[in-house]
Amino acid sequence: MFASKLISPVLCLEKNKLLSVIVPKRAMSSCGGTLRDIFMESVNSVRPQTLIRKEIRVRERTLLVGNRSYDLKRPCHVVGFGKAVYGMAQELELILGDRLQRGIVNVPVGIFQKFGKTSGSRIEYIEGAENNLPDEAASKGARMIKDLVEKLNEDDLLIVLVSGGGSALLPLPIPPITLEEKQNLVRTLSRKGATINELNCVRKRISQLKGGGLAELAHPCPVICLVLSDIIGDPVDFIASAPTIPDADPPEMATAILEKYRLLHDVPASVKTVLEKGKCSCRSDVVDGEYQHVYTYVIGNNKIAAEAAKQEAINKGFQSAIISTGIEGDVRKISEIYAQLARNVAAVITDSGNKDSLKVFLETFSEDLRVRQGFIDELLDMDYSNGICLISAGEPTVTVTGSGKGGRNQQLALAFSVELNKQAIESADISFLSCGTDGIDGPTDAAGAMAIRNSPENTPDVNPESFLNNNDAYSFYEKYNGGECLVKIGHTGTNVMDIHVMIIQPKI
Kindly give, in sequence order, each residue whose CB lies less than 8 Å from that of residue 457, ignoring residues fewer than 6 positions away: none
Lowest mean pLDDT among 59-68, 259-268, 274-283, 406-415: 274-283
Q: What is the DSSP string of 309-372?
A: HHHHHHHTT-EEEEEEEEE-SBHHHHHHHHHHHHHHHHHHHH-GGGHHHHHHHHHHHHHHHTPP
- Is the pLDDT confidence value at 456 over 60? no
- Is the pLDDT confidence value at 438 over 60? yes
Kindly give, in sequence order, each residue whose CB lies less than 8 Å from that of residue 233, ignoring residues fewer than 6 positions away: 326
Q: Looking at residue 24, what DSSP letter applies?
A: -
CA distances from 102 to 97, 157, 182, 477 (A): 11, 11, 30, 46
Residue 230 CA to residue 498 CA, distance in Å, equals: 9
pLDDT at 30: 61
Task: Answer with the residue of higher pLDDT: 238 or 25.
Answer: 238
Mean pLDDT of 382-402: 93
pLDDT at 491: 86
pLDDT at 298: 97
pLDDT at 457: 42
pLDDT at 422: 86
pLDDT at 6: 27
User: With bands split at pLDDT 50, 70 and 90, how would you rate the model's confidence at 462?
Assistant: low
pLDDT above 70: percentage of residues in the chain: 91
- Is the pLDDT confidence value at 243 over 80? yes
Q: What is the pTM of this model?
A: 0.86
pLDDT in tens, 336-376: 999 999 999 999 998 999 999 999 999 999 999 999 999 99
Q: What is the CA radius of gyration of the chain?
A: 24
Mean pLDDT of 309-314: 98
pLDDT at 132: 81
Q: Looking at residue 481, what DSSP letter applies?
A: G
- Is the pLDDT confidence value at 297 over 90? yes
Mean pLDDT of 135-154: 97
Name the fold adopted by 48-172+209-246+282-300: Rossmann fold (3.40.50)
Domain 3-46+307-506 bears CATH identifier 3.40.1480.10: yes
Q: Looking at residue 243, what DSSP letter applies?
A: T
pLDDT at 354: 94
Residues of the chain with CATH 3.40.1480.10: 3-46+307-506
pLDDT in tens, 196-227: 789 889 999 999 999 999 999 999 999 999 99
Residues of the chain with CATH 3.40.50.10180: 48-172+209-246+282-300
pLDDT above 90: percentage of residues in the chain: 74
Lowest mean pLDDT among 18-27, 163-172, 413-422: 18-27
